[in-house]
Amino acid sequence: MDGYCKIIALRNERETLAFAAKLAPYLQAGDVLALRGDLGSGKTSFCRGIIRTLTNTHEVPSPTYTLVQTYEAEKFNIWHFDLYRLEDAHEVWELGIEEALEEGICLIEWPERIDNLLSGAELNIDIVFKDEGRTLQISGSDTWGDRLAKL
């Protein structure tokens, strides 16, 4: 596999939040994180760790019913999408994803709902939940590898 790939074992939700907090400072406007995993695997917890770190916001609800939540960070806005309930990929345009892709960072849960609309430049985070722990497989282009080398 060309590009960046890293596998991380995390024992619990606290470690998931902590790892996301370590990743957060490496993010910049225009980044897209595509989070895949079964229901309850920890996608929202991972997003919560990033959002809390970059915004100092403690209240980070899951956007399961609203489909998107936005947050103001110091350098950009964060758009947290949960596309589980999205019925048609083109409905994502009504949620403001075009603006999000241009101006902020996008954290997208259930990105497979819009795979054909993604550029391929996103950082993919596949989460597998087992017992209390999680395994993250993080992959992306060489550009991500250069940026995340110290992570």
Please tell me the distance from the alpha carbon of residue 66 to that of residue 97, in angstroms, as a whole number: 14
Mean pLDDT over residues 92-117, rounded?
Answer: 90
Q: What are the domain boundaries of the chain?
A: 4-147
- In this prediction the pTM is 0.92
How confident is residue 79, by pLDDT bands cut at 50, 70 and 90? very high
Region of poorest pLDDT, from 1-5, 69-73, 110-114, 144-148: 1-5
The answer, yes or no, to whether residue 1 has pLDDT greater than 70, is no
Q: What's the CATH fold of domain 4-147?
A: Rossmann fold (3.40.50)
**Strand residue runs (E) in 22-132:** 32-37, 68-72, 77-82, 105-109, 123-130
